[in-house]
Amino acid sequence: MSSVQQAAADLADVLYAQVRQASDQDPSIRGADWRLATVTSIQTTGTVTTTDGIVARRTDLYVTPVVGDTIILTVSGMGNWLALGRVAPVTTAGTWQALTYNGSWSAWGAPHYSPAYRINGDGTVSLSGLAKAPGSTTGTSTIATLPTAARPAQKARFSTIVNPGVNGALDVNTDGTIQITDYSGTAIWATLDGATFRLT
């Protein structure tokens, strides 16, 4: 092979590599595809932005986006991106998040679950666990405060038990505070199990 032929072959290899690289990065050439990405910001327009700058429209299944979510992105042949939803964690650990207590409230301890919350994929939040009240708790008392992403758009109210045979109300407020109220006597605990509310 002459030097001219070798140069032509080398140029062809370089051009082929450049075309392959361009097609790998351009969905209109590559066609439809999917990938994983991490959410860096959430827009009120129904989109999220990922670490590599992709802006994707959320589907109605992905209703509770959180910064840091690992999500599934899909792209059409026209280059339109969709955020299908978050992927499941590697393990179930971390699905339930510990609540931040107010004052001297704490976990009751074994054999009960510690108070926790979970943001569900259907746009709801669930509470769980048994919280121990500070001594001489009477009247309305704040147990814990939920983070912004887990707060209801409207106040939610549930039944709870604050003492053997004593019922009360469990309020989840729009500022994230979880309170017991509307009971008589002294509260020694608050049950959170079964409380599930909408985010919107």
Indicate if the pLDDT at residue 12 is higher than 80: no
Whether residues 74 and 130 share a domain: the answer is no
The neighbouring-strand residues paired with 145 are 100, 177
Out of 87, 106, 127, a domain closes at 87
Q: What percent of the chain has pLDDT over 90?
A: 61
**Backbone Cα Rg of the chain:** 26
Q: Tokens standing for 31?
A: 């066609």
Question: Is the same domain home to 148 and 70?
Answer: no
Please work out, in degrees rounded to the nearest 5, the angle formed at the alpha carbon of residue 195 by the alpha carbons of 149 and 198.
45
Are 54 and 128 within one domain?
Answer: no
The total number of structural domains that make up the chain: 2
Do both 122 and 184 map to the same domain? yes
In a domain, 18, yes or no: no
What does pTM read for this prediction? 0.58
Q: What CATH number does the domain containing 34 carry? A: 2.40.50.140
Q: Is residue 7 part of a domain?
A: no
What pLDDT sits at residue 169?
A: 97
* Residue 19 domain-assigned (yes or no): no
**What is the pLDDT, as a whole number, of residue 184?**
93
Residue at 135 is within a domain: yes
Residue 94 confidence class, pLDDT cut points 50, 70, 90: very low
Which of 44-53's residues contact partners 24+ apart within 8 Å by CB, and which partners? Answer: 47/83, 48/83
Does residue 182 share a domain with residue 121? yes
Q: Is 13 a member of any domain?
A: no
Q: What residues contact residue 30 under an 8 Å CB cut-off, 6+ apart?
A: 23, 24
Residues of the domain holding 170 = 97-198
Kindly state whether residues 127 and 186 are assigned to the same domain: yes
**Which of 44, 64, 87 delimits the end of a domain?**
87
C-alpha closest to that of 181 among 151, 153, 160, 196: 160
Same domain, 70 and 145: no
pLDDT single digits (tens) 104-133? 999 999 999 999 999 887 788 999 999 999
Structure tokens at 42: 């959430």
Q: Are residues 71 and 151 in the same domain?
A: no
Same domain for 148 and 168, yes or no, is yes
pLDDT confidence band for 76 (50 / 70 / 90): confident
Both 109 and 61 in one domain: the answer is no
Q: How far apart are CA 36 and CA 128, in angstroms?
A: 31
- Helices (DSSP H) in the chain: which residue ranges? 3-25, 27-30
Domain boundary among 37, 60, 87: 87
Q: Does residue 9 fall inside a structural domain?
A: no
